[in-house]
Amino acid sequence: MKTDPNIEDFASSNNPVVRKFNEYLDSHGLRRTTERYAILNRIMGINGHFTIEELQQLIEGDGFRVSRSTVYNTVELLMDARMLRRHVFEGMQAQYERITLPHTHLICTTCGKVKEVRDTNFAAFMNARRFNAFNTDHYSLYVYGTCSTCARKLKRTRQAVKDKDEKNKKR
Amino acid sequence: MKTDPNIEDFASSNNPVVRKFNEYLDSHGLRRTTERYAILNRIMGINGHFTIEELQQLIEGDGFRVSRSTVYNTVELLMDARMLRRHVFEGMQAQYERITLPHTHLICTTCGKVKEVRDTNFAAFMNARRFNAFNTDHYSLYVYGTCSTCARKLKRTRQAVKDKDEKNKKR
DNA sequence: TTTACTGCAAATATTTTGCAATATC
DNA sequence: GATATTGCAAAATATTTGCAGTAAA
């Protein structure tokens, strides 16, 4: 085993996420490797979305070296264990996030930032919703638009163009 | 120009989709090439989702040869013109579809088939919905689950396993 | 005639895979 | 000790790009 006291502590902790992962590994005859816990441990510290690249860099920033293949492999397991979800928003590379309570994703098409918002009305609507000849497992709502920061910047740019036009007209 | 009477007819037709595309091309100083109309023409004949690969094969099935780069390029233009949308459903490759009325996507996680359903209640909900510090442009709702065909198959498989277990027990 | 577009081949980006070394059970 | 897992490098996949020839305006 690659030794790392922090990760060993995490792996043997009573953290419900660790327990869930253990159950998944055990029930599938998979092994409890240090790499898997190091990755899970890092993911637990991330709020929001991350790419594979970012995840690996964070892990290595912790001073733990894992190969790209292992990151992919573990992320795959976590998805299978229903602990992680993969999202591909329009025009962006795949991003992952821990599965928590259902929420809506607001994606700014200008800066690419993704914000999660809870929407109890929508959740209630979906809970009640039944589709013909289809058994729902889970769902994702992606809302694309412009965040307030980008809206402000765009407004400023437009104003600047307008000002310039005005100036040119006067000449 | 690569000549093709069918495509020339289509390009000079009064089809609203053609007109919309023409407007987009003209307003962006882009050229009206036969390839672009051949691709648009083929897309018009597709109901539902398609991949780049499938699209190119359909076009070539029509006896019109286009390069992969041109397919990508034109699809990009059509997305920019808000005539086409790109979707990446969990675990599948990118698929495209014409922009029509808003609808929900039901994705079978077993066979991968995607079905569109109109949902006026949901559409009304989204029309009324405003998000804090966010200006909505458009949205996508992806619902994952099992279609009835796959549900039936799975049920049969489970029954077969059960029968086999029963049989083994009797020995 | 000017320059945008196409097609090709090469480059990139992302993810997957084969395999030898290694760690888990 | 048996075998699942890791890490590496190579392969596969999907998409983008540079460039020379071609076509649209």
Instruction: Express each pLDDT in B129-145 by its tens digit.
Output: 999 999 999 999 999 99
Helices (H), chain B: 5-11, 16-27, 34-44, 52-61, 68-80, 120-128, 148-170
Nucleotide C19 C1' to residue A69 CA (A): 14
Provide the residue type at B143 as one letter.
V
Query: Which pTM was predicted?
Result: 0.91
CB pairs under 8 A between A and B: 95
Mutate to test the interface with A, among B115, B134, B135, B138 (most CBs of A within 10 A): B134
Instruction: Express each pLDDT in B8-52 by its tens digit.
Output: 899 999 999 999 999 999 999 999 999 999 999 999 999 999 999
Average pLDDT over residues B58-65: 94
Cα–Cα distance for residue pair B76/B93, rounded to 1 Å: 16
What is the pLDDT at residue B5?
82
Mutate to test the interface with A, among B109, B130, B139, B142 (most CBs of A within 10 A): B139
Query: Taking chain A, what is the end-to-end CA distance rounded to the nearest angstrom?
Result: 76
What is the pLDDT at residue B140?
97
Judged against a pLDDT cut of 60, whether residue B165 lies above it is answered with no
Residues 6+ apart with CB under 8 A from A74: A35, A36, A39, A40
What is the pLDDT at residue B169?
46
What is the pLDDT at residue A171?
37
What is the pLDDT at residue B54?
97
The contacts found for A24-31 with CB under 8 angstroms, 24 or more apart, are A24/A77, A24/A80, A24/A81, A24/A83, A25/A77, A30/A77
Contact assignment for A139 to B142 by CB distance below 8 Å: yes
Looking up tokens 């005005």 gives A166
Judged against a pLDDT cut of 80, whether residue B160 lies above it is answered with no
Q: Which residues of A touch B137 (CB under 8 A)?
A: 109, 144-146
Stretches in chain A below the pLDDT threshold 50: 168-171
What is the pLDDT at residue A161?
64
Nucleotide D8 C1' to residue A149 CA (A): 43
Cα–Cα distance for residue pair B99/B103, rounded to 1 Å: 10
In order of their start, the domains of chain B are 1-100 (1.10.10.10), 101-171 (3.30.1490.190)
Residue nearest to nucleotide C9 (CA to C1'): B69
B68 touches strand D (CB under 7 A): yes
What is the pLDDT at residue A139?
97
**Nearest CB to B106: which of A94, A106, A134?**
A134
What is the pLDDT at residue B162?
63
Residue nearest to nucleotide C16 (CA to C1'): A69
A87 touches strand C (CB under 7 A): no
What is the pLDDT at residue B115?
96
B22 touches strand C (CB under 7 A): no
Mean of the per-residue pLDDT values for chain A? 92
Closest nucleotide C1' to the C-alpha of A29: D4
Antiparallel, parallel or unpaired: β B95-98 and B84-87: antiparallel
What is the pLDDT at residue B155?
81
**Nearest CB to B143: which of A119, A131, A147?**
A131
Nearest-Cα residue of chain A relative to residue B87: A90
Q: How does residue B158 score in pLDDT terms, banded at 50, 70 and 90? A: confident
Residues 6+ apart with CB under 8 A from A3: A34
Contact (CB, 8 A) for B125 and A121:
yes
